[in-house]
Structure 1
């Protein structure tokens, strides 16, 4: 999948807060920690409420988990080669 450098950086930044979302609100054994009416229960529901597809969220979170040095190095290699970034051929 070939994408532009700016788009890839934007997707990485979008993935940063997504990877920090809670997997579930509260403890399943604690009644006091149950979500209030209208609150999103799971990470998937929280992401869906943002209008982001599950596949995009997964890809963006993977990009966000790549160490900055590796990410920048791969982008620089692609730029120096004059080729678009292909995420299937890269470490991320």
Structure 2
């Protein structure tokens, strides 16, 4: 069974390892708020930086965010999936 992480535990473990969220973001070439935003699910690169610093995957840290969804076989795919695709050849100038 994998460890359950919450945002407080993540921040505490980073602090134990000598990291701050801002410092971690800057060390990875990201905006200074990237890792703070990652705690709330709005920055994938920040989440990856945190996971790498802790030696885990982003799926381990936030399993609810990264659920693999099955593709619905009833959903059409391909070029004709959208009705807008059908008229692409007829994009001449308006009369």
TM-score bracket, shorter-length normalisation? under 0.3
Instruction: From the two aligned structures, give the one with the greater strand fraction.
Output: 1
Instruction: From the two aligned structures, give the one with the greater helix fraction.
Output: 1
TM-score by length of 2: 0.26
Greater gyration radius: 2
Between the two structures, name the one with larger relative contact order (CA 8 Å, sep ≥ 6): 1
